[in-house]
Amino acid sequence: MNEAFLTQLLQAIPLAAVLIGREERILAANDEGRQLLGPAIVGRHFLTAIRHPAVLDAIEASLHDGQQRRTRHLTSQSGKDLTFDVTASRIDLGTGHGVLVCFDDISPVEQAGQMRRDFVANVSHELRTPLTALLGFIETLQGPAKNDTAAQQRFLEIMQREALRMERLVRDLLSLSRVEAEERVRPTTPVDLAAVAGSVLRTLAPLAAENEVTFDYQGPEQGLDVPGDEDQLRQVLTNLVENAIKYGGRGHAVTLRLTPVEMLTAVNGPGLEILVADEGRGIEQVHLPRLTERFYRVDSHRSREMGGTGLGLAIVKHIVTRHRGRLRIDSEPGQGSRFTISLPR
């Protein structure tokens, strides 16, 4: 079997692959194999070309007894951690034994696993705090505060607040998983966004009054249709306006503006721009790209104090993506924050 034929054969394998042949030298490699191990590995002894102890052990063991070996190989390329599932299989080359080594890049699977573990850890942590508080107060009510009616009243109020926090967290988690499940299906029912905006502002009026915030609505009262899912678009506006009230500062205004746009460059067609702006303390540049990550908060203490779950903007991002729109966040410390959504019409 000549080298050109073997290289062709390796080229057909959809993994990084190298073939070790006579005198334990690399006989052939495909493009992915050369990319992973170096451009000039063909002809070199495998010990100098591969250099990863676990992989070398697998090759030697397979050469020795003819059994296939599997191992893990961790490396990093341009600052990214990569994990490979490596198989070493002895083959008969006619002139002697060789070993085919295949490197299967399982980094995306590993990454997804890590994300899932982080997510579970985050959810558990978020639930544990209110739960610990509840258990503590129950114990106090059963013991030291058994006959103290005034203390009981106070503790029940705190318990209610903590239970409501857990309820909000579970509700947001369910919304997030529902939106994620539907993300591939673009909604098509016409939704009057102006009417939705009016109803969101009416619902949030008591919260605004509590925080001495005034609304500045700029847009028509009705008649701004976009293809969408009404409940989800309501949730987008609610989350953004609620954040603007919470983080916008007492006594300031919150703007909600709806503008039809002839040509949205982001979507290359007609659309609608939604702006939610506040006059609060703003957000530092470094945080902006991470705000839509689940549980990412600039100031965890402040967010929790305001009853936040850290999931609001993650939900917004997923809903906007489902509607094939874009979300842009502009902010500077001291200059307030502007959340702009472009939706195709």
Report the interface residues with ligand ADP, using CB under 6 A.
239, 243-244, 247, 278, 280, 283, 291, 296-299, 303, 308-314, 337
CB 283 within 8 A of CB 333: yes
Nearer to ligand ADP, 71 or 255 (CB): 255
The dihedrals phi and psi of 12, each to the nearest 5 degrees, come to -80, -10
Q: Name the token pair of 210.
A: 């509590």
At 281, which amino acid appears? R
Distance CA 200, CA 196 (A): 6
Provide the minimum distance between the beta carbon of 336 and ligand ADP in the complex, in angstroms, as a whole number: 8
Cα distances (Å, whole numbers) of residue 216 to 22, 82, 289: 79, 50, 27
Distance CA 233, CA 191 (A): 9
- Residues 262, 332, 319, 80: is their CA dihedral positive or negative? positive
DSSP 218: E
Nearer to ligand ADP, 273 or 278 (CB): 278
Nearer to ligand ADP, 81 or 210 (CB): 210
Nearer to ligand ADP, 311 or 341 (CB): 311
Q: Nearest Cα to 160, choosing from 134, 193, 123, 129?
A: 134
Q: Name the token pair of 247.
A: 């983080």
Distance CA 169, CA 309 (A): 6
Nearer to ligand ADP, 99 or 200 (CB): 200
Nearer to ligand ADP, 7 or 243 (CB): 243
Angle separating helix axes 312-322 and 230-248, nearest 10 degrees: 140
Nearer to ligand ADP, 192 or 279 (CB): 279
Distance CA 253, CA 216 (A): 7
Query: Which H helix or E strand runs over 181?
Result: helix 149-182
How many residues appear in the chain? 345
Provide the minimum distance between the beta carbon of 175 and ligand ADP in the complex, in angstroms, as a whole number: 12
Q: Is 88 helix (H, G, I), strand (E, B) or coil?
A: strand
The dihedrals phi and psi of 130, each to the nearest 5 degrees, come to -65, -35
Nearer to ligand ADP, 72 or 290 (CB): 290
